[in-house]
Chain A
Amino acid sequence: MAVTQVFGARVRRREDPRLIRGTATYTDDLTLHGLCHAVFVRSPHAHARIRRIDTSRAKSAPGVVAVLTGADLEGKVNSIPCGWQVPNCDLKTPPHPPLARDKVRYVGDAVAVVVAESRAQAHDAAAAVEVDYEVLPAVVDMEAALRSATLVHDDVPQNRVLLWSVKGGDFEAAAREPGVRVVRQRLVNQRLIPNAMEPRAAVAHYNPGSGELTLWVTSQNPHIARVILSGVLGLPEHKLRVIAPEVGGGFGSKIPVYPEEAVVSHLAVRLGRPVKWVESRRENYLGTIHGRDHVTDAEMAVRPDGTVTGLRVRTLANFGAYLSTAAPAIPTILYGLVLSGPYRIPNIDCEVTGVFTNTTPTDAYRGAGRPEATYVLERMMDLAARELGLDPAEIRRRNLIPKDQFPYTVATGITYDSGDYARALDRALELFDYRRARADQEAARRQGRYLGIGLSTYVEICGAGPSKVVGSTGFSGGLWESAVVRFSPTGKVTVFTGTSPHGQGEETTFAQIVAQELGVPLDDVEVLHGDTDSILMGWGTYGSRTTPVGGTAVYLAAQKVKEKAARIAAHQLEVSADDLVFENGRFHVRGAPDRGMTIQEVSLQAYLAWNLPEGMEPGLEGQANWDPSNFVFPFGTHVCLVEVDPETGQVRILRYVAVDDCGRVINPLIVDGQVHGGIVQGVAQALWEFAQYDQAGNLLTGTMSDYAVPKAAWFPKFECDRTETPTPVNPLGVKGVGETGTIAATPCVVNAVMDALSPFGVRHVDMPLLPERVWRAIRQSKGGSAA
């Protein structure tokens, strides 16, 4: 039963066969006896007073079991709370009723729910619910909303959700320094729709005998959902079980607890029948959170030698119509605090104004705040380089935090644990053959071809995190993780994790950690997740924390198992535990390899309990809770080559090189996959994706035929490499990699396109860089007549 090195091996994802073959069980695949179906009636207006709701026609429609409005939920289902009360920013937390009462605040706001025997009947009846609306003016644009007499929430003046700031050093002084130039740019980071492949869904089942409610829900964090829903429903936590079965992607959009889940849970209790709700794609676009949506005025102070001495940022962040679960943290601590990136910038001044508008609420979307910060920083670095006539690679090199200065505390107060940023930059430039590429670019320009080279150097702050620290930022929870590693009598291993992977592949990587530590075959390890009844606690999968935090808990639990197994083996082999060697899953006496027992034999003995050390409990399992001492800080450099067609403005990506450092790598195949997916999503923001509202608050990009989700054929083969700087924060030395691609890719591509357009004197174009926008920029530029 010899085991080879599995930590670091390119093991294929064990999740994939069931996903590819369609044998995975998603929430919508569940069928229960007596199941009925809920459909929500949604507002077609962005802002309107509800005068009257007439449900009589709907109630008498065929198959209808119940029709409920907000009034019916009064005192039964509480307001949906916000889970991240960021302090010192005058945060406003207006109520978020599960079904709108007096007013609707965005197109898609739910006003009623219809339950029927079939989903189709529920849809038909939903169309028969008559709502009398008094349409109100809508606020859509953030700057207009701040000045408008129209208030999304009557008790939130100026529609201002929060005013948050972070300051380190003295930007004004840095800007006044003789010789320093201040580069300024307004940058729009447009609103995006997360587009998880599986829309949201919920199935609730109430057992009147036990008084227990079970909710299957598309969640990235079922334990958090349980805590919140317990409060929303007034149901004691031990009577509420939340299960996230197979979840088809989230990208942050399945972190929040949404009204529909609460309403469906209540319906199951109220009706005494299980209830299912499955979101349509159209509803997903309207009712599931959106991401990004910032407008930023940035100023960068830079000395003539390229040393960046200051960054001042004024950002408007669109919160939409309600505060989603983690929303306040996204444009504040996850954005402002990370603005220094991988650079030494002694003076940083960031002020963020959060704004309510009559649009879909926003929250975490892959990267959550960090892509927005990196976009600002990396665009400004390029603009500064251009101002000074410096090469973009050179200005970055001059400002990177040197590797001998870690731990390094940036001006915003965060301490980076480790890094070798220059090494990743060098490796990326080498892979890209940067010097040669610049020469090729010159030659191409002489032939009238417009090639552009873009760089993006980033550090991501992830792996949240020290619970004490996140608590101080207003998060209403901890961010540690728990794990159980349990042997069965026959020597098979079951791992329970509090994280809730939904496409990231941790069923494979966690099995690799355990197989490595316990010396058991990979296939003998099962990894279970997503059920509040199966494990103490879990804070979920998001923010690239699953492996650094949850994986460490798994590792520590495996250590505990190994320690106990060693004590049993020592006892049965009649030696001291210190005299045992553990090798390839077998304990043997040092110097006497024949005298030994496998860990499976030990497991059997642990369960038989015929001959255990005095006072030892039977069984073989380990439980560990891990609360990290710091965040982790993956970093890297991405470089890409684009070509712009000056006649049409079309952009084509010719090459894409990514060098990422996520510490020690458990499974290179999975890391590559995460990086690839991240790049694709990041590039999509740069070139194609945008959510667009009209002035009345109608979502114009409301279907997948309007909103451009990227397609594989639009990309070249990615050239990925890594440097490996283990983090000292956890014993595995691992950092997160789920968001690095998204963070790096967006500015990388925009920088490349702006580089291609530099002969025209084009300085900046806002995303997405649609052909028309690029064409207009060329045409309006001084060199535009050439095209």
Chain B
Amino acid sequence: MIPATFEYVRAKSVREAVSLLQQHGGRAKLLAGGHSLLPLMKLRLSQPEVLIDLGPVEELRGVREEGSSVVIGAMTTHDELASSPLVRERVPLLAECAAQIGDVQVRNRGTLGGSLAHADPAADYPAAVLVLDAQMECEGPAGARTVPVSQWFVDMLTTALRPDEVLCRVRVPAQTRGQGWSYTKLPHPASGYSLLGVACLLSVDGGTVREARVAITGVGPKALRLPKVEQALAGKPADEASFAEAAKLASDGLDATDDLYASAEYKRHLAAVYTKRGLLRALERVRQ
């Protein structure tokens, strides 16, 4: 449980972090909250030679409003997100998701950017940012670029982030007034990761679903939107019967993996249950 020897560098700016990445190539890793990387290093499953700590980079911190979006620095911790009045007001789904990550210690150290760049298949944020249609703002040697979240998650532990890029900010369109939301998860009893997590955003017009967005995390190699469920809901009455009917489609062809606590078959079953419950919870908030 002692990592292999590594060099530790504190980056002062994104520019410096990028140039360090260029300099060390694949031998370097960026360190954000360290909650995924450090355990791997302690088990010597990951042995980077250089660790570039983003902790001192001020420009990666903080939450601000820009027009109809909320812009969140990649180094913002889960706890900062969960307790930010701005996030709670404008993107309450993200606050609800952040509040359910791990435990207090994890939320005090772990970061939004670290989690999204690591892309653990059982992480919570991916489901939330998928339904929120977030934009991932990255910076590399060639300058800045923005990746829509729909293109971000490539595979297990793999994102569209290039090896010499830093994920700097996540731009999240604010939820609209009257939109319902929910993030519900079944946590792994040991790790607290999602055995399954479902994020819902629900717009209702006069008792009819105008738009539903649903995404799921934890079940397979990467988080996914559930377009079949979303399409089945559109134009349907916003009630338990149509939610239950549409939620069944969540299990359909869902790419799920077995693990010690939950088989693929069980996860597919839960996908429907959690989707229905998530939609009902979102509906309660529409009416609030």
CB within 8 Å of B: which residues of A?
Answer: 119-120, 123-124, 127, 280-282, 647-648, 650, 688, 692, 700-701, 703-709, 711, 770-772, 775-776
The smallest beta-carbon distance between A567 and chain B, in angstroms, is: 59
B207 within 8 A of A: no
Q: Which residues of A have CB within 8 Å of B2?
A: 119-120, 123, 280
Tell me the interface secondary structure of chain A in the complex: loop
B252-263 vs A: 1/0 string, CB under 8 Å? 000000001111
Question: Are A282 and B186 touching (Cβ within 8 A)?
Answer: no
In whole angstroms, what is the CA distance A716 to B193 when docked? 23
Residue of A nearest to B193 (CB): A705
Q: Which residues of A have CB within 8 Å of B261?
A: 770, 772
CB within 8 Å for A692 and B262 given contacts A120-B2, A123-B2, A647-B273 = no
The smallest beta-carbon distance between B259 and chain A, in angstroms, is: 9
The smallest beta-carbon distance between B146 and chain A, in angstroms, is: 33
Question: Are B190 and A280 touching (Cβ within 8 A)?
Answer: no
In whole angstroms, what is the CA distance A328 to B186 when docked? 40
The smallest beta-carbon distance between B152 and chain A, in angstroms, is: 25
B241 within 8 A of A: no
Question: Are A705 and B190 touching (Cβ within 8 A)?
Answer: yes
Question: Are A280 and B1 touching (Cβ within 8 A)?
Answer: yes
Q: Which residues of A have CB within 8 Å of B263?
A: 772
Would you give 28 A-B contacts (Cβ < 8 Å), ordered by A?
A124-B4, A124-B5, A127-B44, A281-B1, A647-B273, A648-B186, A648-B270, A688-B189, A692-B260, A701-B190, A701-B260, A703-B43, A704-B190, A705-B39, A705-B188, A705-B193, A706-B190, A708-B188, A708-B189, A709-B190, A711-B103, A770-B261, A771-B186, A771-B266, A772-B261, A772-B262, A772-B266, A775-B269
CB within 8 Å for A707 and B1 given contacts A127-B44, A692-B260, A772-B266 = no
Question: Are A700 and B260 touching (Cβ within 8 A)?
Answer: yes
B191 within 8 A of A: yes
Q: Which residues of A have CB within 8 Å of B269?
A: 775
Q: Which residues of A have CB within 8 Å of B188?
A: 705, 708
In addition to A124-B4, A772-B263, 10 A-B residue pairs with Cβ atoms within 8 Å of each other are A120-B2, A127-B44, A688-B189, A688-B190, A705-B39, A705-B188, A705-B193, A707-B190, A708-B188, A770-B261
Q: Which residues of A have CB within 8 Å of B191?
A: 705-706
In whole angstroms, what is the CA distance A281 to B43 when docked? 11
Contact residues, B259-278 vs A (CB, 8 A): 260-263, 266, 269-270, 273
Tell me the interface secondary structure of chain B in the complex: loop
In whole angstroms, what is the CA distance A776 to B266 when docked? 9
Q: Which residues of A have CB within 8 Å of B260?
A: 692, 700-701, 706
Residue of B nearest to A706 (CB): B190
Residue of A nearest to B267 (CB): A772
Q: Which residues of B have CB within 8 Å of A703?
A: 43
Q: Which of B43, B189, B262, B273 contacts A282 (CB 8 A)?
A: B43
B182-195 vs A: 1/0 string, CB under 8 Å? 00001011110100
In whole angstroms, what is the CA distance A224 to B140 when docked? 63
Question: Are B266 and A708 touching (Cβ within 8 A)?
Answer: no
CB within 8 Å for A282 and B1 given contacts A127-B44, A775-B266, A775-B269 = yes
Name the residue in B1, B43, B188 with the highest tally of chain A Cβ atoms < 10 Å from its Cβ: B1
In whole angstroms, what is the CA distance A169 to B39 when docked? 57
The smallest beta-carbon distance between A704 and chain B, in angstroms, is: 6
Residue of A nearest to B277 (CB): A647
Q: Which residues of B have CB within 8 Å of A776?
A: 266
CB within 8 Å for A708 and B190 given contacts A127-B44, A692-B260 = yes
In whole angstroms, what is the CA distance A648 to B196 when docked? 12
CB within 8 Å for A648 and B273 given contacts A119-B2, A123-B2, A706-B260 = yes
The smallest beta-carbon distance between A251 and chain B, in angstroms, is: 18
In whole angstroms, what is the CA distance A648 to B261 when docked? 13
In whole angstroms, what is the CA distance A772 to B263 when docked? 8
In whole angstroms, what is the CA distance A706 to B261 when docked? 9
